[in-house]
Amino acid sequence: MAGRVTYERKENIGLITVDNPPVNALGHDVRVGFKNALEEGLADRYVQALVLIGGGRTFPAGADISEFGKSLTEPDLRAVIAAYEASRKPVIAAIHGTALGGGLELALGCHYRIAQDTAQVGLPEVNLGILPGAGGTQRLPRLIGIEAALDMITTGKFVKAPQAKEMGIVDEVTNGDLLEAALAFAENVIDQKLPLRKIRDLTAELKDEGVFDQYRANFKKRARGFLAPFKCIDCVEYCVTKDFDEGLALERERFSECLNSSQSKGQRHMFFAEREVSKIPDVPKDTPIRPIETVGVLGAGTMGGGIAMNFANAGIPVTLVEANQEALDRGLSIIEKNYANTVKKGRLSQEAMNKRMGLITGSLSYDDFSNVDMVIEAVFEEMGLKKEIFTKLDAACKPGAILASNTSTLDLDAIAACTKRPEDVIGTHFFSPANVMKLLELVRGEKTAKDVIATSMKLAKTIKKVAVLAGNCDGFIGNRMLFKYFEQAQYLLEEGALPQDVDRALYDFGLAMGPFAMSDLAGNDVSWRIRQRQKSEAPEGAPYSGETADRICEEGRYGQKTGTGWYDYEPGNRTPQPSKTVEDIILKVSEEKGVKRRSIDDEEIFKRCIYALVNEGAKILEEGIALRSKDIDVTYVYGYGFPVYRGGPMFFADQMGLRNVLSDIERFRNEGVNGEVWEPAPLIEKLVKEGKSFDDL
């Protein structure tokens, strides 16, 4: 404990330094250290002011989240901050790196703040499903005004030092030595006899009384289903309706409500999961990395174009090869249009757009791949074509180049076997739209080399994706589970529901959209082709859920792109309208299959679809296709619009209680019309017997 916070005297100034690598998190030892150091400074009669600074790379960057949910040992952060604010000697916070969450709240308890020009400040608690619970919601609005504080607290966004100065969060910014500048600042406070500026005594400026309702209305859409942003708004409103101490007490109540909610548990689970999935047990940190300075992309369709943009955005030159000039021109013009839209929205400068476009070179020849460090293939999902292409890529690419496929379902080992270097082959499964979606599902073939995995994981970070490593099987982690989910969604139609019923239940559960709206968006023909392949590979008489979907496709209802799919679409409007034609098809299929239709409630709908994900997820875990249940959760939250506040399907199942999940699955199997497809995963049965959860694995 000793030594995490040190106190020393610099002439007439007491210097308090926290040294708790990596981010000076405000755990118990640090809090005790701060209290002791303050007492020392106050007792030191030669000292007239105090400077509080972070050792290493940052000012405290937040609370110690591993303490959340455990019983707190005194002093809590609020008591430490109150003690600093009450100090009779002025305290100056000297900020470098990132003063986030509790770190910024501590700085707000000081009387003055000075920041390095490269520093950033923020209150990102909302992203963990909580709110700043150590006075942040009461002090920040008093310092910078209600509107600016609402924006920062409800979005969790970071503010860079120069802007923080403009907003009034910090009093001075320095581009020189921070400690020197802070000591000089303190001298000045002493010389000028500047007052102890206690934020608690300020009045929060409110320009527009309607702002709270406006925020609530906005966040209803923007943060559908989330709890924390609304609690943040409530707290900021207390700055206007309550006095400081009352506001502080109410902030604490709202904080506890958030902290104890299942939402925050889910969001904190995701926070740790995202960090853990980057660790691959048999690919150690020191695995060599192959330099990736140039990339080739084959196919400039929906996926290829988006994939190319990722690399251009990261400053990596891309060679984009297509089958013919027309397809190449189309692909390039879509990329250009996408960038132009971003420029129009003011989120990218014209100059940056030109630079990015300049990094993408179109070509019709594989010869132009001869020097690239990695090629990602994104042509049609056909095994014959992929095999032919990998033979050609093997011949065209230099030794050591990584050959990657964006296949979403096909056998990666069969693709790798067409090359003389299967160790250089990996799956890089991007999600649509590839330039937007955060997930990159990497697929490890039987022979994929460890340095190819390490390189691809690192590359994912470079292009700002979260990579999850999956094993090779039909659909890998994400789509293999999705097949089971969609299977249930389709059986629900046969048994009595309509697409809009299924979609509504899952939308209300928190998914970005239900399965039928999603299929219309992705193109129903895509899953049709996959179903045809799977049907041809399945044993005779195997249960089949795709009759309705097949008929929808046979009628040319491919989804939004054809104007009709599971729903009807008015020209230029993407809002799904329930379709009478589709309803007729569904009723006909029920009749032909001899299924007596019944009314199905939302609970059965969401449980059947979500537990189908969970059950298959458990099988995937058992087979080692996913390394941890967290990998599945990250895949679903970042790749499939699963609500982050539910923590992913496996975490959600843990929260429901695996015993309950298993008993529902058994009921679906024993009582369901299509019950034969429900075979409980042995892993779930085992965990239930042992009284464990997925998270215990």
DSSP 507-548: HHHT-SS-HHHHHHHH-HHHHHHHHHHHHHHSPTT-----HH
Active-site residue (options: 85, 125, 494, 604): 125
The interface with ligand NAD within residues 382-401 (CB under 6 A) comprises 389
Which of 176, 380, 532, 692 binds ligand NAD (CB under 6 A)? It is: 380
5-10 and 120-122 strand pairing? unpaired
In this chain, which of 85, 322, 487, 503 binds ligand NAD, going by CB under 6 A?
322
Residue 655 in 3-state DSSP? helix
For ligand NAD, the closer of residues 15 and 632 by Cβ is 632
Rounded least distance, CB 306 to ligand NAD, Å:
8
What's the min distance (Å) between Cβ of 629 and ligand NAD? Answer: 23
- Residue 278 phi, psi (nearest 5): -80, -5
d(CA 560, CA 577): 11
Residues sharing a CB contact under 8 Å with residue 260, sequence separation 6 or more, in sequence order: none
Cα separation, 159 vs 165, in Å, equals: 10
CB of 640 to ligand NAD, least distance (A): 11
Instruction: Map the footprint of ligand NAD across residues 326-355, applying CB under 6 A.
Output: 327
Binding flag, residue 295, ligand NAD (CB under 6 A): no
Angle, alpha carbons 639-264-612 (nearest 5°) = 45
Interface residue with ligand NAD, options 92, 378, 426, 618 (CB under 6 A): 378
Rounded least distance, CB 458 to ligand NAD, Å: 22
Minimum CB separation of residue 276 from ligand NAD in Å reads 24
Q: Name every residue whose Cβ is closer than 8 Å to that of residue 79 and which is 6 or more positions away in sequence.
A: 35
Residue 407 or 448: the one with the smaller Cβ distance to ligand NAD is 407
Assign residue 279 a region (left: φ > 0; alpha: ψ between -120 and 50; beta: otherwise): beta
Query: Toward ligand NAD, which CB reaches closer, 436 or 697?
Result: 436
Check binding of 310 to ligand NAD (CB under 6 A).
no
Question: Residue 304, interface with ligand NAD (CB under 6 A)?
Answer: yes
> Which residues fall within 8 angstroms of residue 627, CB to CB, at 6 or more apart?
277, 280, 281, 469
The reply to whether 428 sits near ligand NAD by the rule CB under 6 A is no
Show the DSSP H helices in 523-628 as ranges: 524-537, 547-554, 580-592, 602-622
Nearer to ligand NAD, 390 or 645 (CB): 390
**Do 430 and 464 meet the contact criterion of CB atoms below 8 Å apart?**
no
Q: Report if residue 272 touches ligand NAD, rule: CB under 6 A.
A: no
* 656 neighbors 591 (Cβ within 8 angstroms): no
Q: Does 406 bind ligand NAD (CB under 6 A)?
A: yes
Whether 549 contacts 582, CB under 8 Å: no
Q: How far is the CB of 273 from ligand NAD (least distance, A)?
A: 22
Shortest Å distance, C-beta 377 to ligand NAD? 8
Q: How many CB atoms lie within 10 A of CB 366?
A: 18
CB closer to ligand NAD, 203 vs 391: 391
Residue 408, interface with ligand NAD (CB under 6 A)?
yes
Point out the residue whose Cβ comes nearest to ligand NAD. 301
User: Is position 418 an interface residue for ligand NAD (rule: CB under 6 A)?
Assistant: no
Does residue 407 interact with ligand NAD by CB under 6 A?
yes
Contacts for 611 with CB less than 8 Å, ≥ 6 apart: 653, 661, 664, 665, 668
Task: Write the single-letter amino acid at 669.
Answer: R
Whether 442 contacts 453, CB under 8 Å = yes
Q: Which helix (H) or strand (E) holds 469?
A: strand 466-471
To the query of whether residue 125 is one of the catalytic residues in this protein, the response is: yes
Query: Among 122-130, 425-433, 615-623, 666-674, which window interacts with ligand NAD (CB under 6 A)?
Result: 425-433
- Least distance to ligand NAD from the beta carbon of 407, Å? 5
Task: Give the C-alpha separation, 14 to 290, whole Å.
Answer: 49
Is the separation of the CB atoms in 106 and 60 below 8 Å? yes
Residues in contact with ligand NAD, total (CB under 6 A)? 24
Residues 665-694 that bind ligand NAD (CB under 6 A): none
Is 117 an interacting residue with respect to ligand NAD (CB under 6 A)?
no
Binding status of residue 302 toward ligand NAD by CB under 6 A: yes
Among 38, 233, 298, 360, binds ligand NAD (CB under 6 A): 298
Of residues 83 through 112, those in contact with ligand NAD by CB under 6 A are none
Could you write out the three-class secondary structure of 61-126? CCCCHHHCCCCCCCCCHHHHHHHHHCCCCCEEEEECCEEECHHHHHHHHCCEEEEECCCEEECHHH
Dihedrals phi, psi of 173, to nearest 5 degrees: -125, 135
Least gap, CB of 409 to ligand NAD (angstroms): 7
- State which of residues 301, 317, 563, 641 lies at the interface with ligand NAD (CB under 6 A): 301
Within 581-620, which residues bind ligand NAD (CB under 6 A)?
none
Task: For the segment 510-539, give every residue that binds ligand NAD (CB under 6 A).
Answer: 522
Point out the catalytic residue in the list 40, 74, 105, 180.
Answer: 105
DSSP-assigned beta bridge partners for residue 6 = 17
| Start-to-end C-alpha separation, the chain | 32
Work out whether 414 is an interface residue with ligand NAD (CB under 6 A): no
Stretch that binds ligand NAD, among 16-24, 119-127, 298-306, 311-319 (CB under 6 A): 298-306
Shortest approach of ligand NAD to residue 229 CB, angstroms? Answer: 30
Interaction of residue 323 with ligand NAD, rule CB under 6 A: yes
- Phi first, then psi: what are they for 619, rounded to 5°? -65, -40
Task: Report the residue from 300, 320, 610, 658 that binds ligand NAD according to the rule CB under 6 A.
Answer: 300
368 part of the interface to ligand NAD, by CB under 6 A? no
Asked if residue 262 binds ligand NAD (CB under 6 A), the reply is no
Minimal distance in Å, beta carbon 205 to ligand NAD?
48
CB-CB neighbours of 683 under 10 Å: 20
Residue ranges binding ligand NAD (CB under 6 A): 298-304, 321-323, 327, 378-381, 389, 406-408, 429-432, 522
**Active site (catalytic) residues:** 105, 125
